Amino acid sequence: MNILAIDTSTDVASLAVWRDGEILWKREISSKKTHSSALFPALEEARDVAARIDRIAVGLGPGSYAGVRIAIAGAFGLQFVWNCDLVGIPSVLAVAPVGAHFRVIGDARRGAWYYSRIKNGECIDGPRLIESAAALAEVLAGSDEAIFSAEVLPELWNAQCRLPDAAILAELAAAESGILQRDDLEPLYLREPHITLTAPKKTALSK
């Protein structure tokens, strides 16, 4: 089986082509603004490595909502070309080797955090939103498992900075581990969309 794995949930995108336990090709793309300009040339490279792809695995986040959508768009296009399987896996599963036991935290902004606990390639808790730093500290208290984050966080939680790795994502997809979605993929978004309603226009009678 040939697998193409893509993760764009952080500022550093990761891509890999996997075949029967071996990584044939791997690429990282760093971008602070958008992955769209660099991702598609990298996908062309991947097509040159493997003339045929049987499965595409996409990291669904949590992380950059726009980044994940770009990866999904690219995967949809390639699925049309190859007529292959398409699977979505939480990006947090791909920050440590398959089989490891660890936790992943991240800043979800607006005073909230996202949290996951992973064992043997599966999320046994999360990804979920935790509404405050105090609540997160309580969840993490007493744990001797490694804690990872995609960004530098306060030393209080001893989090090691580590990014999702597409090579691990490919291994998970090959083992049928951690698969959350198939074919019709959507980014993991842990809170309801924040919609600002436009105030009604004042009329002469309402002044």
Taking the C-alpha atoms of residue 175 and residue 3, their distance in angstroms, rounded to an integer, is: 11
Say whether pLDDT at 127 is over 60: yes
pTM: 0.89
Domain chopping of the chain, boundaries: 2-91+164-182, 94-161
Least confident of 25-39, 95-109, 151-165: 25-39
What integer pLDDT is reported at residue 196 of this predicted model? Answer: 46
Whether 178 contacts 100, CB under 8 Å: no
Q: What is the pLDDT of residues 141-172, one digit of tens each?
A: 888 999 999 888 866 678 999 999 999 999 99
Residues 6+ apart with CB under 8 A from 62: 9, 90, 91, 92, 106, 108, 114, 127, 188, 189, 190
* Each residue's pLDDT tens digit, 182-204: 999 999 988 765 444 455 555 55
CATH topology of domain 2-91+164-182: Nucleotidyltransferase; domain 5 (3.30.420)
pLDDT in tens, 48-81: 998 899 999 999 999 998 999 999 999 999 999 9
Do 177 and 121 meet the contact criterion of CB atoms below 8 Å apart? yes
Q: Which two tokens stand for residue 103?
A: 């936790």
With 80 as the cut, is the pLDDT of residue 93 above it? yes
In terms of pLDDT, which residue wins out, 143 or 118?
A: 118
